[in-house]
């Protein structure tokens, strides 16, 4: 089925986006007409509508507000025009000569705008004074003299500040237009100017020597002292975009269980608050020069869940060994990136990945590949047999479209709607739909298909709700979920609820809390139980939030339908049945030959004709012809269960750390051997210079 969005749908979306800007433009036109006629009712209505549209634009359509700014129609310009139209209306309304009075009002407005722009300049200075060369979490940073950030309205939201502080002046000018008394306008302008003056005072206090954080060099010296005291030995390095944090978060618990003293090294300030709750110290070093200070620390090795442009910078440090662990393994070419040869070792789950690198021939030596399993899969529950209840829970978790334009990357575009339609047609199916977070980020067709799939599921759920009226968990289940959600939010997000990227505020509020990670694990388990219990067994669900994660969905699913991706490899830890959608254009056998992870599961064509037979094999295990193949493939993909993956991961980290220690000792020996030669050569040169 075609996944391209229909023209009417695109037009409706565009119309909704343009509604506020159009309303704002019409309000200015109406205000101008009201000023020139003059018409007080029209002036009041147009001004109020314009202010409301401007505030709504900043609240709900920040991107459109930024676009208007690029056209030089900034919020400052809009407010100036609005106030000038009000003054023009007053001049038109008055029949006598009141130039001096209105000149005073204009001067008052100019003072207000001067204070506003001064506030913006001071806010910039305060931000610069508070921007330290590093950001931390789970580290006591009180020595850096940090303090809570000024209110966001004063510090960062210049447009909203102007609209809010300018509201009294607008109301005063309108009141003068109605009453004819200039006192209202003068009072309103005075209040606006007073607000701006107070905001300047609040910010200027932050520039006093006693209120500033330490200087950048002092902060770096403090960091080096902390490194010397903490003495980290193992760590994780991560750099990426806003939607890539999940790649690092999946390695938090395995990293926390390693021997030694772990640390997390980040490069982007925004990423500090996107890392999930953990006890591990986190440090963000945006500049390369500051990153190089790790060279003289006790840090021996770093794991890398992903490649990024900034990875090469940390690889320059000769005293640290580096292991690429990836954020998932699949048969796709992206799992054998040639960049992997830049690392000291490549840690993979099992023999399949080792073979994949050998076949890809991208320069990774087999001796540098180490099989460690997937330590984060311990939470996945094993296969318990056929569904015992009236419903078969099917998890459809397609991957995204990728960067290479390969139509076989995701099934969402060509097969997604057919798969979902076939599943919803079975009255005994409960569908969980969990699309990849990046779905639609490259190909708009994938995004449009994702929207339509969700609409289909919501409609099916609404139909079932009508059929099962009254058959829902009681209010106690919802209350329990709300309680568990509040508890988990308190543990994981309470320090970072403010969306402002005030890094120093994060450092101030994220002091070490021993045992927090264990509390988060327990709270997460309780939350997941409450989450599933809050829905009836027949209700289809769309899971797009970070919670529940895909592993939690694995545990409640009887069947997985996905694409060629790491989701398949991870799901095999349960040995439950699965199916892979084939949108590559290859015949089934060629598809199986090209992608070994497919060999233990059913293959679905884009028309999803195989769904009924697939569901039958899940409900009647005697028809499941892939059970033995799944056990074999699990061993091939994830390696043996004895010793456990956690143990193999720790052994690999210990061995790489020992290699780093041996390398450091060798560097020291070589340095001692070179220094006498350099001194001898320097003496000879000095002797030749004197003799000459």
| 312: CATH | 3.40.50
Q: How many CB atoms lie within 10 A of CB 81?
A: 15
**Which of 177, 211, 245 is the last residue before a domain boundary?**
211
User: What is the maximum alpha-carbon separation in the chain?
Assistant: 106
Could you tell me if residue 630 is inside a domain? Answer: yes
Q: How confident is the model at residue 494, as a pLDDT?
A: 41
| Peptide bond before residue 548 is cis, with ω within 30 degrees of 0 | yes
Average pLDDT over residues 50-73: 84
* Angstrom distances, CA of residue 409 to CA of 402, 437, 505, 595, 686: 7, 14, 41, 12, 67
For the chain, give the mean pLDDT: 87
Element (H, E) at 282: strand 282-284
Three-state DSSP class for residue 500: coil
Element (H, E) at 92: helix 75-93
Q: Collect all residues with Cβ–Cβ distance below 8 Å to 258 and sequence separation of at least 6.
A: 234, 649, 650, 653
pLDDT digits (tens, 9 = 90+) for 493-545: 544 433 334 555 556 555 556 677 778 888 999 999 999 999 999 999 999 98
Q: How confident is the model at residue 12, as a pLDDT?
A: 66
Could you tell me if residue 160 is inside a domain? Answer: yes
Residues 112 and 55 in one domain: yes
Instruction: Tell me the percentage of the chain whose pLDDT exceeds 90.
Output: 56
Element (H, E) at 302: strand 301-304
Name the strands in the sheet holding 541-542, side by side, starting at the edge strand that comes first in the sequence: 541-542, 429-433, 392-396, 559-562, 578-581, 602-604
Residues 292 and 156 in one domain: no
Query: What pLDDT band is residue 489 in, cutting at 50, 70 and 90?
Result: confident
Indicate the number of domains in the chain.
Answer: 3
Residues 362 and 412 in one domain: no
Tokens of 341: 């040869």
Query: What pLDDT band is residue 692 in, cutting at 50, 70 and 90?
Result: very low
Say if residue 370's pLDDT is above 50. Answer: yes
Residues 545 and 628 in one domain: yes
70 alpha-carbon distance from chain centroid: 26
Residues 269 and 150 in one domain: no
Question: pTM of the entire structure?
Answer: 0.76
Residues 41 and 98 in one domain: yes
Range of the domain at 367: 231-373+641-692
Query: What pLDDT band is residue 360 in, cutting at 50, 70 and 90?
Result: confident
Element (H, E) at 577: none
Average pLDDT over residues 151-167: 90
Q: How confident is the model at residue 504, as a pLDDT?
A: 58
Residues 655 and 692 in one domain: yes
Tell me if 321 sits within 8 A of 656, measured CB to CB: yes
Q: How confident is the model at residue 5, as a pLDDT?
A: 42
Residues 624 and 648 in one domain: no
Query: What pLDDT band is residue 61 in, cutting at 50, 70 and 90?
Result: confident
pLDDT digits (tens, 9 = 90+) for 640-661: 988 999 999 999 999 999 999 9
260 alpha-carbon distance from chain centroid: 29
Residues 656 and 577 in one domain: no
Residues 116 and 154 in one domain: yes
Residues 366 and 286 in one domain: yes
Could you tell me if residue 270 is inside a domain? Answer: yes
Q: How confident is the model at residue 14, as a pLDDT?
A: 64
Residues 417 and 307 in one domain: no
Could you tell me if residue 519 is inside a domain? Answer: no
């Amino acid at each position: 089925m075609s996944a391209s969005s229909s023209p009417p749908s695109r037009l409706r979306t565009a119309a909704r986006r343009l509604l506020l800007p159009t309303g704002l433009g019409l309000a200015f036109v109406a205000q101008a007409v009201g000023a020139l006629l003059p018409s007080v009712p029209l002036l009041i209505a147009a001004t109020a509508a314009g202010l409301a549209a401007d505030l709504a634009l900043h609240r709900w359509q920040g991107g459109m507000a930024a676009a208007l700014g690029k056209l030089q129609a900034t919020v400052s310009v809009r407010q100036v025009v609005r106030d000038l139209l009000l003054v023009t209306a007053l001049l038109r309304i008055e029949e006598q000569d009141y130039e001096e009075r209105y000149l005073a009002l204009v001067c008052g407005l100019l003072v207000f705008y001067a204070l506003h722009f001064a506030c913006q300049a001071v806010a910039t200075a305060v931000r610069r004074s508070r921007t330290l060369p590093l950001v931390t979490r789970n580290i006591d940073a009180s020595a850096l003299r940090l303090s809570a950030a000024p209110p966001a309205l004063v510090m960062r939201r210049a447009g909203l500040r102007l609209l809010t502080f300018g509201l009294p002046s607008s109301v005063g000018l309108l009141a003068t237009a109605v009453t004819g008394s200039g006192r209202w306008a003068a009072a309103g302008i005075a209040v606006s100017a007073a607000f701006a003056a107070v905001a300047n005072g609040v910010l200027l206090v932050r520039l006093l020597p006693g209120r500033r954080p330490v200087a950048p060099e002092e902060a770096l010296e403090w960091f080096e002292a902390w490194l010397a005291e903490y003495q980290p030995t193992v760590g994780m390095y991560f750099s990426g975009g806003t939607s890539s944090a999940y790649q690092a978060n999946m390695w938090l618990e395995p990293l926390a269980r390693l021997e030694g003293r772990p640390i997390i090294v980040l490069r982007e300030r925004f990423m500090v608050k996107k890392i999930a709750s953990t006890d591990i110290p986190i440090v963000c070093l945006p500049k390369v020069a500051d990153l190089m200070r790790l060279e003289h620390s006790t840090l021996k090795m770093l794991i890398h869940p992903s490649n990024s442009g900034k990875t090469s910078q940390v690889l320059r440090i000769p005293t640290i060994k580096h292991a690429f662990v990836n954020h998932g393994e699949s048969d796709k070419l992206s799992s054998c990136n040639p960049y992997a040869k830049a690392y000291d070792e490549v840690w993979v789950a099992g023999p399949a990945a080792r073979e994949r690198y050998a076949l890809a021939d991208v320069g990774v030596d087999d001796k540098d590949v180490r099989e460690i399993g997937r330590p984060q899969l311990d939470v996945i529950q094993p296969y318990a047999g056929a569904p015992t209840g009236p419903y078969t829970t099917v998890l459809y978790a397609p991957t995204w479209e990728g960067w290479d334009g390969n139509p076989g990357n995701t099934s969402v575009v060509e097969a997604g709607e057919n798969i979902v339609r076939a599943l919803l047609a079975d009255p005994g199916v409960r569908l969980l739909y969990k699309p990849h977070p990046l779905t639609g980020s490259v190909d708009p067709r994938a995004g449009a298909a994702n929207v339509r799939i969700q609409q289909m599921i919501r409609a099916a759920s609404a139909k079932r709700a009508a059929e099962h009226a009254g058959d829902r968990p009681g209010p106690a289940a919802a209350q329990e979920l709300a309680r568990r959600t509040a508890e988990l939010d308190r543990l994981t997000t309470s320090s970072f609820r403010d969306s402002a990227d005030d890094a120093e505020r994060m450092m101030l509020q994220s002091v070490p809390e021993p045992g927090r990670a264990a509390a988060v694990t327990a709270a997460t388990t309780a939350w997941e139980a409450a989450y599933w219990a809050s829905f009836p067994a027949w209700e289809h669900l769309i899971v797009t939030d970070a919670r529940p994660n895909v592993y939690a969905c694995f545990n409640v699913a009887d069947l997985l339908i996905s694409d060629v991706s790491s989701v398949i490899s991870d799901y095999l830890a349960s040995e439950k049945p699965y199916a892979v959608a084939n949108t590559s254009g290859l015949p089934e056998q060629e598809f199986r030959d090209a992608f070994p992870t497919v060999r233990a599961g059913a293959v679905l064509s884009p028309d999803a004709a195989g769904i009924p037979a697939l569901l039958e094999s899940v409900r009647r295990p005697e028809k499941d012809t892939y059970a033995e193949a799944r056990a074999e493939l699990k061993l091939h993909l994830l390696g043996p269960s004895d010793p456990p993956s956690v143990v193999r991961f720790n052994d690999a980290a210990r061995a790489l750390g020992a290699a780093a220690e041996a390398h450091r000792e060798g560097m020291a020996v070589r340095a001692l051997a070179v220094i006498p030669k350099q001194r001898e050569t320097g003496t000879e040169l000095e002797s030749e210079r004197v003799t000459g």
